[in-house]
Amino acid sequence: MAEKLQVRFLLLLAVLLALGCHDSESVPKGMEGLAFEGRTMGTYYAVKVSGSWTSEDGTRFQRAVEEELDDVNRRMSTYLEDSELSRFNRHRDVTPFEVSAGLVTVTKAALDIGRLSSGAYDITIRPLVDAWGFGPGGDRAEGEVSDEVIAALLEEVGSDLLQVNLEAVTLSKARPTLTCDLSSIAKGYAVDRVAERLTALGATDHWVEVGGEVRAAGVNGEGRTWRLGIERPQLMPGAVQRLLPLANASVATSGDYRNYREIGGERFSHIIDPRTGRPIRHRLASVSVVHPQCMLADGWATALMVLGAEEGFRVAEREGLAALFLVRQGNDFIERSTPAFERLTESR
């Protein structure tokens, strides 16, 4: 799946800040805590479990983590031709298509965010994502997409063309050619799945990260609240804008400064506004959302990024979201945080 903001350095930065310097493999028997990482969904994952565990525990936890990640990828990837989502996208019919409970859950959450954001978030915009060169066929955009092509593609997308039946566990299209892209919410859902699996296995103090989306529970190896470094938006990674205590919560960040294409000497963000069919162009550089569910933090971060600094902030306030907006001001950035975000930081 297309990753949001994440490069290798950012993963290592977050792991360093939150986890400490452990080897990538499970630590030997007798040491405090387990840490492991790997690749998934086109990016990296990292997991830390606090407490006294054996190397056998580490192997068991890592196997469980990778089972959850593989399952989500097999169901929601747009890059795997045999994934559940890819098969639904190829389903050229308006009849209900049976899917897994997980795919229904994520799709329903995405549609809810789309409705609450007045269409700023729309998982049916895959044709536009592809046209601008950010989908599985990412090398196809050789120039700026014309107004005529955008107008034609906008006729093919729309959340109102997608129906979810929670009882029957099916998805339906009102237009047979409709396709979906869950890359802006599936990683967050994968984080939730991994965190819940670890909790079920008794590993209640843990940190889970997939491609920059994070969920932390309990305490770290020092018995303290986990801390997350929110990155300062700039082309060269490394600077931390804010250190955020993270206890039994998730954080997802969306931004326009890392994943982009240059067309005719101009930068075009990978984040497409479903209302215009074009990459976003405004002063908002990044949004970080804190939420109990990483799936919702993930989806809302993208929605607020599309909405921009002013409209996005109003929506975040209205929905009671804990969100930190980093807005360009000349060569610098100014912070703007919602009341819920301020209450969250003040209480920790």
Residue 145 lies in a domain: yes
Compute CA distances 192 → 50, 84, 213, 331, 347, whole Å: 18, 19, 10, 36, 24
Residue 4 lies in a domain: no
Q: Where are the alpha helices (DSSP H) in the chain?
A: 8-19, 55-76, 84-90, 101-116, 126-131, 147-154, 186-200, 294-307, 309-318, 339-346
pLDDT at residue number 3: 39
pLDDT at residue number 31: 37
Amino acid at 119: G
Residue 148 lies in a domain: yes
Residue 118 lies in a domain: yes
Residue 222 lies in a domain: no
Q: What are phi and psi of 90, to 5 degrees?
A: -85, -5
pLDDT at residue number 346: 65
Residue 129 lies in a domain: yes
Range of the domain at 149: 84-173
Residue 90 lies in a domain: yes
pLDDT at residue number 264: 63
SS3 state of residue 235: coil
- Residue 27 near residue 104, CB atoms below 8 Å: no
Q: How many domains does the chain have?
A: 1
Residue 278 lies in a domain: no
pLDDT at residue number 270: 84
Q: What is the pLDDT of residues 126-160, one digit of tens each?
A: 999 988 888 765 555 567 889 999 999 999 999 99
CA-nearest of 82, 14, 85, 19 to 43 is 14
**95: CATH:** 1.10.3980.10
Positions in the chain short of pLDDT 70:
1-32, 136-142, 234-238, 257-267, 346-348
